[in-house]
Chains A and B, each alone.
Chain A
Amino acid sequence: MLQQTVTIKNKLGLHARAAAKLVNTANRFESSVVLNNKGKGADAKSIMGIMMLAASQGTELKLFVEGNDESEAFASVISLIDNRFGEEE
């Protein structure tokens, strides 16, 4: 199992479109991908769950990835978040 704290960098936070990108990324992998915001957890393959994390810019999330392809999944999710979901801000 891999885990790390990640910070949401894009200005708008985890809104619907950003969440959609996250879900699509997580869905490419077999591993389970979970994000945790101050004790509230969400399956990164559920767009509603991700949106309900209410993660605005600057929020620190704990990322847990577990499964056969965990290292690729882990790297992909982190790079998506670090690249602000491809958003400008």
Chain B
Amino acid sequence: MLVLHGAGVGKGIAIGKAFVLSGGTVTVPEYSIPESGQKQEVERFRNALDEARGQLEDIAANIPKDAPTESASFIEAYLLMLKDPLIADQPIDTIRTRKVNAEWALQIHSAGLIKAFDAMEDEYLRSKRTDVEHIVNRIQSNLLNIRHETLGHITSHMEGKVVIAHDLSPADAVLLKNHSVAAFAIDLGGPISHTAILARSLNIPAVVGLHGATRYIAHKETVVVDGKRGVLMAGTDKLTLEAFEERRRYVEAKQLELQALVHKPAVTKDGVAVTLQANIELPEDIGSAAKVNPQGVGLYRTEYLFMNRPQPPRETEQYTAYCRVAKRMKNPVTIRTLDLGADKQVDGGRREGPTNPALGLRAVRLCLKEPALFTPQLRAIFRASAQGPVKMMIPMVSNLDELSQVMDLIEEVKSELRREGKQFNENLPIGGMIEVPAAAVCADLFASRLDFLSIGTNDLIQYTLAIDRVDDEVNYLYDPLHPSILRLVKTTIDAGKHAKIPVTMCGEMAGDPRFTKLLLGFGLRIFSMDPAALLEVKKKILDTNVGIAEKFAAKALDCKGSQELRDLVTALDQT
């Protein structure tokens, strides 16, 4: 059995006969052209350009009307590139001055262009080198008379097949979808290429960046594409195929089943209502989050507004972003103040790397040290609170003095806004993220000073167990079911209950259905998670009897080790 790994970009599983598109990388020959042959060589180059133009216009004419409008605009961009002096004229100069063949002249220029793209700082723009490669490959193939089996002519034979290609242009991907292709897998491309983005929006299983798929997969061979894991398999035996077919049906059925839960309230079997919220990173995430009908946003990570740019965003830009989210939601939006530092640095590398960034100047520590960074954000959040139900959450609090400093700064901001006559919610709820073990142990102290607590399990686990999650040597020790973690979680939930303030959980543990029943047993009632996990957690909640979960949870606190705990949690899951 052959298994190739790439990046899964379109979710889902497909099984079908491979349809391998020939073509792909062209070997570019180099030879010299005497002066007498130059006129003819230039002519040959121009013909190749004309031919490419005709091919692109053909594709444009064949794009189905209901395809996303972007697919046509790719072609428009490609047509402009064909006319651009850098592609259309400069190789001609090179044919004349360096006395080389058209292919080699084009190669020289395209290599320069691609090098310039590779040097770009912005990841997205850098990935656009594929646009240049597409257009150059098309011209080269025309020059070399390589007849691509252009998709337009053969798509009718592709229904239900898995298309394997060296590369596909975004326009090709649209055509495939409209001819009911089961999936596609390509050698080139990364998860943020146009083709990948289209695969996601077209909802077709796809794997990109497979390096060698066209070489190893035979035409008409049966293959399996797993878009979730980014795998292409061939030569699978009958049993494996059956297993995948079963899984494919299972995934399909499960998606349908979960979809039915979207508008169902999250209430346990014994009538306990639970609040499920979404974690978001960018204002535009709110659109996809809304599809699973969350009851508010439990964690809006604002640091993404600050990344990939030389200067931090001004107050107005932040205000606009926060309002966009707040206005869309009827339910509370919890805006977390800047959590930069550690693995998330502002661009421009303002500070030298500390030896241990996770324990260094980050999150609220950084904000307090640099009020010029923090104050505009506080002002923007408060001003947004006049436009919608906004809450504010401070990350990484570890002692009360620090919290007092934040509160002082907040009071200053409030009186400043009052002076300016700006509207805001005087009672905007302010909460703290419990992610440093010190804060969890003293959760009662924090609960007495705050309006809500939110448990950030990712850092809490990393700090409590002294494990760097990204360190391959030790991350096997990263264990949400370590007795220490459960005790800290329980302590925090109890502290909130005692102080009569809400406690939420927004770390990965909240979105892991394996832990849902246990957390309910501990008394957690507000879960915030990646929207993709929300319906599965809701399903678990509908299946929970809190009375039983509480009994298991009490026992869990007495467990001595992770294995014992895992057995208990598995048993609870079966109840």
* Residues of A in contact with B (beta carbons under 8 Å apart): 12-17, 19-20, 23-24, 46-49, 51-52, 54-58, 88-89
Contact = CB atoms under 8 A, between A and B. Distances in A.
A57 B81 CA distance: 22
Interface string B44-58: 000000000000000
Interface stretch (B113-121, B264-272, B497-505, B506-514): B113-121
A17 B73 contact: yes
A12 B124 CA distance: 7
Nearest to B82: A47
A18 to B, nearest CB: 9
Contact of A20 (B76, B86, B87, B117): B76
A69 B76 CA distance: 25
B284 interface: yes
B86 A49 contact: yes
Given A15-B124, A16-B74, A58-B310, 6 more contacts: A17-B74, A46-B85, A49-B86, A51-B128, A52-B117, A57-B309
Given A13-B124, A48-B86, A20 B284 contact: no
A49 B85 CA distance: 9
> How many residues of B sit at the interface, in one of the four size bands?
20 to 34
Given A48-B86, A49-B86, A57-B309, A16 B77 contact: yes
Contacts of B73: 17, 20
A48 B122 CA distance: 17
Nearest to A9: B317
A47 B80 contact: yes
Contacts of B126: 54
B74 A56 contact: no
A17 B116 contact: no
Interface string B400-419: 00000000000000000000
A54 B125 CA distance: 6
Contacts of A55: 125
Contacts of B310: 58
Contact of A23 (B74, B80, B113): B80
Contacts of B132: 48
Contacts of A52: 113, 116-117
A56 B121 CA distance: 9
Shortest Cβ-Cβ A-B pairs, 7 listed: A56-B122, A20-B77, A48-B86, A16-B77, A54-B120, A47-B80, A48-B84
Interface secondary structure of A, over-half rule: loop
Nearest to B313: A58
Contacts of B77: 16-17, 19-20, 47
A58 B309 contact: yes
A50 to B, nearest CB: 9
A47 B81 contact: yes
Interface in B58-110: 70, 73-74, 76-78, 80-81, 84-87
Nearest to A15: B128
Contacts of B78: 16
A49 B126 CA distance: 14
B530 interface: no
Given A20-B77, A48-B87, A49-B86, A54 B121 contact: yes
B39 to A, nearest CB: 26
A20 B128 CA distance: 13
Contacts of A48: 81, 84-87, 113, 132
B145 interface: no
Contacts of A58: 309-311
A46 to B, nearest CB: 5
Looking at A17, A48, A54, the one whose CB has the most chain B CB atoms below 10 A away is A48
24 contacts: A12-B125, A13-B124, A15-B124, A16-B74, A16-B81, A16-B128, A17-B74, A17-B76, A19-B77, A20-B77, A24-B76, A46-B84, A46-B86, A47-B77, A47-B80, A47-B84, A48-B81, A48-B87, A51-B117, A51-B125, A56-B122, A58-B309, A88-B284, A89-B284
Interface string B279-316: 00000100000000000000000000000111100000
A34 to B, nearest CB: 14
Contacts of B128: 15-16, 51
A55 B84 CA distance: 19
A24 B76 CA distance: 10
B550 interface: no
B543 interface: no
A55 B122 CA distance: 8
A19 B128 CA distance: 12
Nearest to A43: B85
A81 B554 CA distance: 60
A56 B308 contact: yes
